[in-house]
């Protein structure tokens, strides 16, 4: 294995090896109607100033960071005087700085931010005084991530051995299975301070750091497993739940004698149950509709609601922003549904169904490997469109992980933009959802004019304890093709106020004539909002944006001045408050 340029060793292997003979998954082959497309992933990794990162080839133990975050911590009075501005619900613009790695020594179990009761969980990692700024090592051997349902017995024997060895590591070893689970808990359960204000916590979900942080998390997890079995090509399997062939929980994770087994899963969802990407325990889906619903949901998340960077990645999150400014399309949809579907059938949803415990289930890593794979696919679909935020506040955000040598390292978002530069590829599988653009149930519907619904501005704020239907004005109609290419029409649902301790979900439909819409394989389905519950709860206000440009075309309603929007609660509606709805146009 090539040693890390920043690791304890100062030498690297010069042995050259070839990549696996499988087709590059970054050149996925897709069918849409009768046309065939190949999409290429190509990124140049540079820092925010555009300089090639080879300027810092020599890796050293970092000196204490006197950066903007530390400066904020040291200017006491100034920070205190501006704290009200920094933690406003709006994304801060002035004084914005990238999210920076937390001080591990200040990790605390703390108290529940809503109830003020002590938490009964400690997910603080081991501390270290030596932090290395991580540099991606040369890729001498590519790691190969297979689809779990295609991997075979030999592969899973190797995977099970690696997990068993990880579980057998000393409890205080940061590479130990539970310590690795705690990494997710610490970053996602409001454990770390984000700034000098102890009430302002760090959270990498429901914002633009969701994909990069989890990519780094899987990266080091995978390298630890590979080192334990002395296999530099070992790659995690991905649970291919976006394809009907992979929508059943992989059988290898269900055998009780396997180290991949976890007893805290919903027993009703073991094989041969088909995964439900619209899952809500309170509103079960008709089994006959699950697969067509799943394919439409994936199309909606990856294509219709992923046109703009913010809508796929999530909202901007910088120093001073409150947690959960706004999740991206996959995160709030299929990603969350799978957490809830797998998790124990209890209010807390453990293990997979709760942020603090989800890393305790080996299936979590295969689930997120598929989420990571979808990020690579989405980037390939972009063709000439922007694939990344140009903001230094995104590119230069940094996090802390322990590598395969138990060395604490600091990593940056900018180094995650190309999975091949990180040394791994995915098995190439079909993307059936890509050719599954939904058809309208009713075209040229007059339901907006005849519904008798109230204008949105007269209804909100409102508690979502029942179906809410409102009329929303369209500032622009009958737009030309050029107009649509320039600006995406978006439905914005804002001021979504929820308690993070609760699994909540609501679906959104446009011009739907059903009194109780419960099917998603139709163009009237606009998207959803849902959240995985936290152990540490707080009340947040968040926002989602749903694409309307293609939807209005499919409904043949581009000339309409108003649309009927239906908000349909599926879980926890009694604790959801909606602040408002509007239509905007984003370039």
Contact 126, 194 (CB under 8 A): no
CATH class of 447-586: mainly beta
Return the pLDDT at 118. Answer: 65
- Alpha-carbon gap, residue 315 to 399, rounded angstroms: 18
Q: Give which of 132, 72, 131, 80 is closest to 105, Cα–Cα.
A: 131
Domain ranges of the chain: 60-112+129-435, 447-586
- Distance from C-alpha of 377 to C-alpha of 391, rounded to nearest angstrom: 22
Instruction: Identify the active-site residue in 149, 156, 205, 253.
Output: 205
Residue 30 clears pLDDT 90, i.e. is over it: no
Instruction: Give Dmax over CA atoms of the chain in angstroms.
Output: 73
Q: Cα separation of 407 and 227, whole Å? A: 14
Confidence of residue 189 (pLDDT cuts 50, 70, 90): confident
> Does position 28 have pLDDT exceeding 60, yes or no?
no
Q: Is 375 left (phi over 0), alpha (psi -120 to 50) or beta?
A: alpha
Q: Which residues pair with 505 in a beta bridge?
A: 530, 571
Give the CA distances from residue 233 to residues 1, 25, 250, 375, 558, in Å, rounded to whole numbers and listed in that order. Answer: 9, 16, 22, 21, 51
**Residue, of 517 and 479, whose pLDDT is higher:** 479
3-state DSSP percent of the chain in helix, strand and coil, to 5: 30, 20, 50
Class of domain 60-112+129-435: mainly alpha
Q: Give the model's pLDDT for residue 117.
A: 65
C-alpha 264/C-alpha 401 separation (Å) is 27
Amino acid 193: pLDDT: 86
Phi-psi region of 519 (alpha: psi -120 to 50; beta: other; left: phi over 0): beta
Question: What mean pLDDT comes out for the span 562-569?
Answer: 96
Any residues with CB less than 8 A from the CB of 491 and at least 6 apart, and which?
472, 508, 510, 526, 545, 546, 547, 548, 565, 581, 582, 583
Radius of gyration over every alpha carbon of the chain, rounded to an integer in angstroms: 23
68 DSSP assignment: H
Other Cβ atoms less than 10 A from the Cβ of 49: the count is: 8
Query: Confidence band (pLDDT; 50, 70, 90) for 327?
Result: very high
Encode pLDDT of 133-164 as tens digits: 999 999 999 999 999 999 999 999 999 999 99
Binding site residue list: 184, 205, 214, 335, 339, 368
pLDDT for position 77? 31
Could you tell me which residue, 7 or 521, shows the higher pLDDT?
A: 521
Q: Are 340 and 349 in contact (CB under 8 A)?
A: yes
Of 335, 399, 520, 534, the catalytic one is 335
533 Cβ neighbours under 8 A, 6+ residues apart: 348, 349, 353, 354, 355, 500, 501, 502, 503
Residue 112: the pLDDT is 60
Among 159, 209, 210, 214, the active-site one is 214
User: Nearest-5° angle of CA 142, CA 144, CA 147?
Assistant: 165
pLDDT in tens, 106-126: 887 765 655 666 667 788 889
Task: Sort strands 454-455 and 462-463 into parallel, antiparallel or unpaired.
Answer: unpaired
Q: Do the two domains 60-112+129-435 and 447-586 of this chain adopt the same fold?
A: no
368 tagged catalytic: yes
Q: What is the mean pLDDT of residues 568-580?
A: 95
- In angstroms, the CA 390 to CA 575 distance is 37
Query: Nearest CA to 534 among 339, 276, 268?
Result: 339
Q: What average pLDDT score do residues 33-59 get?
A: 37
Task: Determine which one of 144, 149, 184, 220 is catalytic.
Answer: 184
The answer to whether 38 and 29 are in contact (CB under 8 A) is: yes
CB atoms within 10 A of CB 174: 21
pLDDT confidence of residue 120: 72
Tell how far CA 530 is from the center of its chain. Answer: 12
ω before 461 within 30° of 0 (cis)? yes
Binned at pLDDT 50, 70 and 90, residue 403 comes out as very high
Q: For strand 408-412 and strand 132-133, is the pairing parallel, antiparallel, or unpaired?
A: parallel
Assess contact for 248 and 274: CB atoms under 8 A. Answer: yes
Q: Are 276 and 341 in contact (CB under 8 A)?
A: yes
Q: What is the pLDDT of residue 242?
A: 98
Average pLDDT value over all residues in the chain: 84
Q: What's the Cα-to-Cα distance from 130 to each of 7, 8, 127, rounded to whole Å?
A: 11, 12, 9
209 a catalytic residue: no
pLDDT score recorded for residue 455: 97
Confidence band (pLDDT; 50, 70, 90) for 395? Answer: very high
Sign for the pseudo-dihedral over CA of 16, 20, 23, 27: negative
Rounded Cα distance between 394 and 40, Å, is 23
Peptide bond before residue 351 is cis, with ω within 30 degrees of 0: yes
Does residue 114 or residue 279 have the better pLDDT? 279
Q: Which of 149, 209, 339, 534 is the catalytic position? A: 339
Predicted pLDDT of residue 114: 57
> Annotated binding residues for Cu cation, as ranges?
184, 205, 214, 335, 339, 368
Q: Which of 364, 368, 401, 534 is catalytic?
A: 368
Per the annotation, the verdict on 367 as an active-site residue is: no
pLDDT per residue over 474-486, tens digit each?
A: 999 999 999 999 9
pLDDT, tens digit, 9 for 90 and up, residues 377-393: 999 999 889 999 999 99
Is there a contact between 503 and 531 (Cβ–Cβ < 8 Å)? yes
Q: What is the pLDDT of residue 246?
A: 98
Distance (Å, whole) CA 567 – CA 526: 10
Q: Residue 71: its pLDDT value, please?
A: 34
Which of helix, strand or coil describes residue 395?
A: helix
């Amino acid at each position: 294995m090539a040693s890390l340029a920043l690791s304890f060793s100062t030498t690297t292997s010069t042995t050259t090896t070839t990549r696996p003979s499988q087709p590059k998954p970054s050149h996925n082959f897709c069918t849409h109607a009768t046309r065939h497309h190949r999409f290429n992933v190509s990124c140049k990794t540079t820092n925010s100033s555009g300089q090639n990162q080879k300027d810092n080839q020599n890796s050293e133990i970092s000196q204490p960071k006197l950066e903007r975050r530390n400066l904020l911590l040291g200017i006491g009075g100034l920070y205190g005087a501006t704290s009200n501005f920094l933690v406003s619900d709006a994304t801060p613009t002035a004084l914005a700085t990238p999210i920076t790695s937390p001080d591990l020594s200040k990790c605390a179990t703390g108290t529940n931010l809503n109830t003020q009761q002590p938490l009964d969980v400690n997910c603080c990692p081991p501390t270290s005084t030596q932090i290395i700024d991580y540099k991606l090592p040369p890729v001498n051997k590519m790691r190969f991530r297979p689809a779990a349902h295609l991997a075979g017995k030999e592969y899973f024997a190797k995977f099970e051995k690696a997990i068993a060895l990880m579980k057998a590591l000393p409890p205080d070893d940061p590479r130990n299975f539970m310590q690795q689970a705690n990494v997710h808990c610490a970053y996602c359960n409001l454990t770390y301070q984000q700034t000098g204000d102890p009430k302002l916590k760090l959270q990498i979900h429901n914002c633009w750091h969701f994909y990069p942080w989890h990519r780094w998390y899987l990266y080091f997890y995978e390298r630890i497993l590979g080192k334990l079995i002395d296999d530099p090509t070992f790659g995690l399997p991905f649970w291919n739940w976006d394809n009907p062939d992979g929508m059943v929980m992989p059988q290898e994770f269900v055998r009780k004698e396997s180290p991949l087994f976890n007893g805290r899963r919903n027993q009703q969802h073991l094989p041969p149950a088909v995964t439900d990407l619209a899952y809500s325990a309170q509103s079960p889906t008709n089994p006959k509709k699950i697969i067509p619903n799943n394919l439409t949901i994936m199309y909606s998340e990856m294509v219709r609601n992923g046109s703009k960077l913010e809508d796929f990645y999530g909202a901007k999150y910088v120093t001073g922003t409150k947690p959960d400014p706004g999740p991206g399309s996959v995160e709030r949809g299929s990603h969350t549904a799978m957490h809830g579907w797998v998790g124990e059938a209890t209010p807390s949803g453990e293990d997979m169904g709760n942020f603090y415990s989800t890393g305790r289930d080996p299936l979590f890593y295969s689930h997120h490997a598929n989420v990571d794979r979808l990020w690579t696919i989405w980037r390939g679909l972009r063709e000439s469109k922007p694939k990344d935020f140009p903001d230094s506040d995104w590119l230069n955000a940094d996090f802390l992980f322990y590598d395969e040598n138990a060395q604490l390292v600091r990593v940056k978002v900018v180094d995650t933009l190309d999975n091949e530069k990180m040394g791994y590829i995915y098995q190439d599988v079909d993307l059936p959802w890509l050719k599954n653009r939904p058809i309208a149930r009713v075209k040229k519907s007059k339901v907006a004019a005849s519904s008798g619904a109230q204008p949105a501005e007269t209804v909100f704020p409102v508690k979502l304890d029942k179906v809410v239907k409102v009329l929303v004005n369209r500032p622009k109609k009958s737009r030309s093709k050029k107009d649509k290419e320039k600006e995406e029409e978006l439905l914005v649902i804002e001021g979504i106020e929820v308690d993070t301790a609760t699994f909540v979900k609501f679906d959104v439909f446009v011009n739907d004539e059903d009194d109780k819409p419960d099917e998603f394989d139709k163009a009237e389905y606009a998207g959803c909002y849902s959240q995985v519950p936290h152990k540490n709860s707080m009340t947040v206000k968040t926002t989602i944006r749903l694409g309307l440009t293609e939807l209005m075309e499919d409904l043949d309603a581009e000339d309409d001045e108003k649309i009927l929007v239906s908000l349909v609660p599926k879980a926890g509606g009694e604790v959801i408050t909606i602040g408002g709805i509007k239509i905007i146009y984003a370039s």
